[in-house]
Structure 1
Amino acid sequence: MTASTSPLIGGLGGRKARVLISGAEVGDEQIRQRAVRLADRLDLQGIDRVASRLDNGIHWLVLDLAVRELGGVHVPLPTFFSPEQVAHALASSGAHCVVTAGGAPAPPGSMGALGTLDGGMLAQWRTEAAAPVGLPAGTACVTYTSGTTGRPKGVCLSGDTLLTVASSLVQASSSIAPRRHLCLMPLSTLLENVAGLYATLLSDAQIALPSLAEIGYTGASGLDVPTLLRCLHRYQPESVILVPQLLLAVVMAAESGAPLPASLRYIAVGGGRVGPGLLARARALGLPVFEGYGLTECASVVCLNRPDASRDGSVGKALPHARVAVVDGELQVEGARALGYLGSEPLPDGPIRTGDLGHVDADGFVHVTGRRKNVFITAFGRNVSPEWVESELLSHPDLAQAVVWGEAQADNVAVLVPRRADLDDAALARAVAQVNAGLPDYARVSRIVRAPAPFSASAGLLTPNGRPRRDAILSHFQAEVDASYRRPAAVPSTGVSA
C-alpha cells in the first residue's frame, strides 16, 4: 500500500515529542512508522474492519492511525462495556478482528488468537464467524452510543466527516491555540477521539495520553480525585475536555484548597447540561471553563463557547461547519452528519433532529433547555425539563446525583444521592431549599426520596458513561416516590404557579 495516504499521518509535522505518556516522549516519526507498519500488516491479512478494546495510550493512537491509513473501519469498544455489550458490538459491526493489549485475556465474542501486532504490544483476536454485515459506503468509524438501554447503538461515520469537525474545532480555538492537550476521557469516546486526538494532531500541538488508571478512573464510572489532580500537575496541560461530573470534582477539590495547575488555558465542558451555578463556581476559582454541545449523529461537537465568543447560559455559537435552527422548539443541525445506524436505513436527508429543546438568540448563541422526551407536565399545565432542575441541584456541594419528576403532580419530587453519607435528611432538605430559591415555583422540588446508595451502571441505573437511566431510576424507586406524595412536603413551598 502507499504510505501516508491519511491526512492525520501525512500531517505529522516532525515534532520531537508529539505524544507524552507517563513522562516518556514519543516523536512524530516513530508514530508514523508504527502506524504505517501496522496498516501494512492488516492489509496483508486482508483485514480492514478492526474493533479495539484498549486503554488510553500510544497503542490506541497507533492503531487508529493505522486503520485510517488503510482506509478501513475502526470500531472502538469502550473498556467499560460489559461482556454482553462487547459481544453485541462485535457481532453487529461485523468486525474481522478485535485488538487488545498484549497479554490481555480473550475478549467476549472472539474465537481465538490471531497473533500479535506492533512489536508484540497488541494482541489480535479472531471474531466469531457470522454473516457479513453491510455498512454504509464511506464508513470509517463505528462508534457506539451508551443509550438508555443495555444494548448500545452503532453509529457509522465517514473519515471526511470526522476531519471536518476536527478542523472546525482547530479554527474555532485559533485565538488560544493550546500547545498541549491532556486526554482525560476514554479515547473510545467520540468527543475525545475527535476534539482531543484529531484536532490536536491537525493543530500541531502535543498530546498527553496517560492511562485511565493514571487519570484516576476506577471501574465504569468511579473517579479518584487526588489521582486526577496529580495527573493534571504531572502533564501541565493547556487544554482539557471534561464532562460535568469531572468539572464538579475539580471545582470541589479546588474549593477545598487543592491547587490546580496554572497551565490551564481552555477547559471545554460537554456531554451533559452544566448548571450556571457550577460554571460560576469554576470561574470564581479562575478556571477558563467553556461549555459546548454536540451529538454522535453530528460527529461530536456542534457548538462551543470560546474566549472571543462566549455567553453564560448558552452552549456557544455553532462551529464553522455547522448550522443550527429551531423547529417547533427542537434544535435541528445541518453540516457534518452520520451515514446511518447499524442495521437501519441511512439517515434521512435534511437536518438532524436532535431531540433537544432550546433556542438560538439574536446574536447566534445556542441555548439547550432539555430533552423533548423527558419533559413532564405538572398538574398546573407547566412544562418542566428535568435536566434543567437536576443541573441546578447538582451545582450544590451537598448533592451528588439527582433525578426529578412531577408528571401530573402539583409539585415535584427528586430522587437524590447526597455527596456525603453523614448528611442527614434535614440537611438534605436545606440544600434543596437553597436551590429552590433560584428556581421558579413550578420547577421547585418539594419532595425528596433519598437513595440508599449511589446510582451505578452495575445496578442498571446509569449508562456506562455516567448519565442517569431516568426510567430505570424512577421505576426502581416507584414505591418511595408514591409514598412521598402521601406525606407532607419535605421542602416547604413558597407558592404554586397556576
Structure 2
Amino acid sequence: MSGLLLGHGAAVEDGRQTWTREALESAARGLARRLQGEGTRVLATLMDNSPAWVIADLAAALAEVVHVPLPLFFTPEQLGHALQAAAVDTLLAPGELAARWPQAPAHPCELAGQALVCLRLPGAPLELPAGTAKITFTSGSTGAPKGVCLDGAALQRVAAGLVQAMAPLDIRRHLCALPFAVLLENIAGLMAPLRRGATCVVLPLAELGLTGSSSFDAARFHAAVVAQRPDSLILLPQMLRAWAVYLLQSGQCAPTSLKLVAVGGAAVGTRLLADARELGIPAHEGYGLSEAASVQTLNLPGADCPGSAGRPLPHARLRVAADGEIEVAGSLFAGYLRDPTPVPQWWPSGDLGRIDADGFVHISGRKKHLLITAFGRNISPEWVETALRGEPAIAQAVVFGDGQPALSAVLWPSQPRADDAELQAAVDAANTQLPDYARIQSWVRARAAFGPETGLATANGRPQRPAIWDRHADALACPA
C-alpha cells in the first residue's frame, strides 16, 4: 500500500464489524481499478466517518487520483464552489446527499457494506501543482473557501513523524472523534495510526455526540469513550471543555485506557489543561496548519510544557522571523488551488510566537489580528480570549477593540441557561489575570454558537472574526 497500511490484523472497527488490513486493501484496490477505468482525475467524497470513507481515501492514493474530502457541514454554495474550483469529475456520497445533483449520471457503489452513489460530474481538466494528492478546503464565512493542494510526500512525512514521536506511547487503539474531512483527523487520526499498525475506531459522528462540527453532546461522547476504551483521541478545545464540565458535574472520570488526548485548532489554556488532567483526561496541546499538512508541534507525556504548543515533531522545522511571525518548513503544501504563486521554502504561518530555550513553541496570536487600542497598546486578542475561555462558564469568546479605548467581547456560555450574572463573574475572574489595558470592559452574549453551520468559525474551531463582528456590531459597546 506504499506505506499507507502496514502490519496485519484489525485496522478499522465501526462498533459492529471489524475490517482487517487485508480486507481494507482488497476493497481499496477494487475501487481504485474502478476509478482508473472511469478516467477519474479528481474524486470528491461527501460522507460521514465510516470504513467506506477510509477505503475511498486509500483507493484515491492507490489510483493516483486527487482526493477532495468535503465536510458535511458545508453549505450548498460552499459545496458547489469546491466542486467547481477543484474540477471534480467524480463524487462519492450516500443516496440522500447525491440527490442534490439530480442531473449527474449516477451509479450504485457499495463499500464496506455501505450503499453509496458514484456521480459523474462535468469537471474540466485542471492543471494542479505537481505532487497534489489531496485538496483540503479551509471553511470560511463565505461561499468561497480556499483550496489547499497537499503534496502526497508531505502527507506521508507528517504521518511518519507522528508515528516516530508517539512510538513510546504504544498507541494501539485510536477513536476518531473529528470528521475525516477535517485535515487534523485525516492525518493524525487515520493515516498515522494505520501506518503504525494501530486500530482506528470509526463511528458515525452522531454516535459520538457531534452534530455538524459545533453541536456537541458531552454525555453521549463520554459514553462512547467508555464503551470503546481507546488509547488516544483528538479533540478541539471546545469539545475538551464540554467534556471536562460534564465529568465535573457528573462526578465521573475519564477511562484509564487513555494515554493521549491531543488538542488543537485553537489555544487551549493552562487552566483547562489542568482541569482536564485532574479528571483523568491526558490532554496535550499541539499546533499545525493546513499549509504544512496539519500537525507541526505537540506536547507529549515526558516532553510537556503546559501553555506551549509543544516541541516540533520530527518532520517539522520552525523558526521565528524578525517580526515575531512563526515560519515553518519540512512538509509544506504544493500551492493554493488556481493560484500559480510558488510556495517559498519557509512558509509564513501568520501566527506570532516564540521558541523557548528548551525548544517549546509558544503561540501568542495571529499577526493580522493584533489590536492597537486608542492608548497605543498592542494586544493579541487570542491572549485575552484564552483567559476568558479558561473560566468554566465561558465556552467561546472573541475580543474586539482595535482603535478603541477599551476591549469588548462576544461570549457564548458553556451552559445555555447561564445568566448574565454568571458570565459577568467569569469576565471579572478572567480580568484579574490580565493587565488593566487588556481587560474586558463590556461584552455581549453571542447570537449563535461559533461553528461552520453558523458561519462564525472554521471546522477546526477558529473564529471567523469579521463574521462575528458583523453579527454583533450593533450590540457591542464600541462603535462600528
Equivalent position to 1:288, from 276, 279, 282: 282
Partner of 1:78: 71
Does 1:190 find its partner at 2:186?
Answer: no
Letter in 1 for 2:283: V
Does 1:474 find its partner at 2:469?
Answer: yes
Partner of 1:352: 347
Q: What is the 5 A alignment of 1:162-201?
A: 162-201=155-194
Partner of 1:436: 431
Equivalent position to 1:370, from 358, 361, 365: 365
Partner of 2:134: 141
Q: What is the 5 A alignment of 1:233-252?
A: 233-252=226-245
Q: What is the 5 A alignment of 1:23-62?
A: 23-62=16-55
More displaced stretch, 237-246 vs 112-121: 112-121
Equivalent position to 1:300, from 294, 299, 306: 294
Partner of 1:267: 261
Aligned mates of 1:174, 1:110 — CA distance in 2: 49
Partner of 1:334: 329
Letter in 2 for 1:261: P
Letter in 2 for 1:442: Y
1:147/1:459 CA distance change after superposition, 3 Å = closer
Cα RMSD over matched residues?
2.0
Q: Residues 371-398 of structure 1, C-alpha deviation per residue, up to 9 Å, x if partnerless?
A: 0111101122211111121121112111
Aligned mates of 2:290, 2:451 — CA distance in 1: 23
Equivalent position to 2:89, from 89, 96, 107: 96
Partner of 2:107: 114
Equivalent position to 1:309, from 296, 303, 310: 303
Asked if 1 retains the 8 angstrom alpha-carbon contact of 2:92 and 2:119, the reply is yes
Aligned mates of 1:32, 1:415 — CA distance in 2: 48
- Superposition deviation, residue 453 in structure 1: 4.5
Aligned mates of 2:107, 2:144 — CA distance in 1: 27
Partner of 1:211: 204
- Superposition deviation, residue 408 in structure 1: 2.2
Asked if 2 retains the 8 angstrom alpha-carbon contact of 1:184 and 1:240, the reply is yes
Equivalent position to 2:317, from 323, 326, 349: 323
Asked if 2 retains the 8 angstrom alpha-carbon contact of 1:268 and 1:291, the reply is yes
- Superposition deviation, residue 36 in structure 1: 0.9
Partner of 2:154: 161
Where 1:446 maps in the other structure, the secondary structure is strand
Where 1:253 maps in the other structure, the secondary structure is helix
- Superposition deviation, residue 7 in structure 1: 2.0
Letter in 2 for 1:450: R
| Higher Cα radius of gyration | 1
Where 1:173 maps in the other structure, the secondary structure is helix
- Superposition deviation, residue 460 in structure 1: 3.1
Asked if 1 retains the 8 angstrom alpha-carbon contact of 2:212 and 2:453, the reply is no
- Superposition deviation, residue 348 in structure 1: 3.0
Asked if 1 retains the 8 angstrom alpha-carbon contact of 2:159 and 2:188, the reply is yes
Letter in 2 for 1:427: E
Tell me the number of residue pairs that the alignment of Structure 1 and Structure 2 aligns.
477
The structure with higher relative contact order (CA 8 Å, sep 6+) is 2
- TM-score under structure 1 length normalisation: 0.91
1:233/1:146 CA distance change after superposition, 3 Å = same
Asked if 1 retains the 8 angstrom alpha-carbon contact of 2:219 and 2:243, the reply is no
1:130/1:23 CA distance change after superposition, 3 Å = closer
- TM-score under structure 2 length normalisation: 0.95
Asked if 2 retains the 8 angstrom alpha-carbon contact of 1:48 and 1:70, the reply is no
Aligned mates of 1:448, 1:305 — CA distance in 2: 33
Asked if 2 retains the 8 angstrom alpha-carbon contact of 1:21 and 1:209, the reply is yes
Aligned mates of 2:18, 2:373 — CA distance in 1: 57
Letter in 2 for 1:101: P
- Superposition deviation, residue 168 in structure 1: 0.2
1:468/1:323 CA distance change after superposition, 3 Å = same
Asked if 2 retains the 8 angstrom alpha-carbon contact of 1:271 and 1:293, the reply is yes
More displaced stretch, 100-109 vs 467-476: 100-109
Partner of 2:440: 445
Asked if 2 retains the 8 angstrom alpha-carbon contact of 1:291 and 1:315, the reply is yes
Aligned mates of 1:459, 1:86 — CA distance in 2: 16
Structure 1, unmatched stretches of 5+, are 486-498
Asked if 2 retains the 8 angstrom alpha-carbon contact of 1:90 and 1:109, the reply is no
Percent pairwise identity = 45
More displaced stretch, 441-450 vs 83-92: 441-450
Where 2:59 maps in the other structure, the secondary structure is helix
Aligned mates of 2:394, 2:101 — CA distance in 1: 37
- Superposition deviation, residue 461 in structure 1: 2.7
More displaced stretch, 36-45 vs 183-192: 36-45
- Superposition deviation, residue 99 in structure 1: 0.3
Where 1:174 maps in the other structure, the secondary structure is helix
Partner of 1:19: 12
- Superposition deviation, residue 419 in structure 1: 2.9
Structure 2, unmatched stretches of 5+, are none
1:196/1:110 CA distance change after superposition, 3 Å = farther
Aligned mates of 1:455, 1:69 — CA distance in 2: 37
Q: Residues 215-255 of structure 1, C-alpha deviation per residue, up to 9 Å, x if partnerless?
A: 11224421122211111012100001111011111111111
Does 1:7 find its partner at 2:3?
Answer: yes
